[in-house]
A and B are shown apart, each in its own frame.
Chain A
Amino acid sequence: MELEAAKLIGAGLATIGVIGAGIGVGNVWAGYYTAIARNPSAKDDIGANIWIGFALTEAIALYALIIALIVLFAF
């Protein structure tokens, strides 16, 4: 296989990792809205903490994209 083709396939495969982060971010927000629906007064207590959970999970997707970029451009 040519190196160029292998690079493109590898970068494509690397982006599969984004699936996990997608599920994770979905879970974060699902948990947030379930919590608020059950106990609306908890909204202020959760506050900015939800954004920490969101950002920590979202960053996982970016690791996959970094791998894709490394495969494409670094070799």
Chain B
Amino acid sequence: MAEGAPAGHGGTGGLNLHPLSQFEITPLIPIQVGDLNISYTNSSLWMTIAVVIVFALMALPTRGRALVPGRMQSVAEILYETTANMLRESAGREGRQYFPFIFALFSFLLVGNLQGMIPGSFTFTSHLVVTFALALVVWGGTTVIGFARHGAGFLKFFLPPGAPTWAAPLLVLTELISYLSRPVSLALRLFANMLVGHTLLKTLGGFVFVLGVAGVVPLAVNVAITALEFLVAVLQAYIFAILSCIYLNDALHMH
């Protein structure tokens, strides 16, 4: 932590109330290979839990394959149908073969974001390296699909049809910049939402301690923000997945 960070949380005993301390990565099982640090961290632990939860949610309730679904099977089916609709509406029929990837992406991020709402847990989506890696996979994957499908014709993607020739250099440049900034904005959106939301909760939590009796006010605000954070957690996973579908559609159909 940088020296001289605002110290507004005095007199709270051993509690570490710094708003950013919740994002600290601590190695649980230190593994060092040469210069490479591949420790099993708290971030990896929560990712493992997310995968286990998704797997359990999909595998266990659907084992009975009831025609009339029970409660848990309904949850699994809703998750499946939401993703299937999202993909069908934005990428069309050809997008169906990429359903497993989009579904894995959506459910992983959804569970990961919601895990962050458990007090004391770790939100792995609040780290830029995680979201940027996922965004880079989506962006690189759709680019490869685009070139595999259209060959060099995919380069026409950067020149909108019907544009005047004299404007071509400017348009190509603009389209290129917008295309290259896709993974950055995709990653930054999810990362910023999770980081800022959780920092806000903790900052307001600090006010509750400092203000004493008047701390009821920030506590009430905190409750409202917690509700908003649940909305944001679901929404941002959805946005990430649907933007991936839209990029996929661009690669499959070119505009």
Contact = CB atoms under 8 A, between A and B. Distances in A.
B235 A51 contact: yes
Given A69-B199, A72-B6, A73-B20, A52 B239 contact: yes
B242 A52 contact: yes
Interface of B: 1-2, 4-6, 20, 185, 188-189, 192-193, 195-196, 199, 235-236, 238-239, 242-243
Contact of B195 (A4, A48, A52, A66): A66
21 contacts: A4-B4, A48-B238, A48-B242, A51-B239, A55-B235, A55-B236, A59-B188, A62-B189, A63-B192, A65-B192, A65-B196, A66-B195, A69-B195, A69-B196, A69-B199, A72-B5, A72-B6, A73-B2, A73-B5, A74-B2, A75-B2
A59 B238 contact: no
Contacts of B235: 51, 54-55
Given A59-B192, A66-B195, A66-B196, A51 B238 contact: yes
Contacts of A75: 2
A17 to B, nearest CB: 12
Interface of A: 3-4, 8, 48, 51-52, 54-56, 58-59, 62-63, 65-66, 69, 72-75
A28 B63 CA distance: 43
Contacts of B188: 59, 63, 66
Contacts of A59: 185, 188-189, 192-193
B192 A62 contact: yes
A51 to B, nearest CB: 6
A74 B193 CA distance: 19
Interface class of chain B by DSSP: helix
A56 B236 CA distance: 10
A55 B239 contact: yes
Contacts of B6: 8, 72
B189 A55 contact: yes
Given A48-B242, A69-B20, A74-B2, 12 more contacts: A4-B4, A51-B235, A51-B239, A54-B235, A55-B235, A59-B192, A59-B193, A62-B193, A62-B195, A69-B196, A69-B199, A73-B2
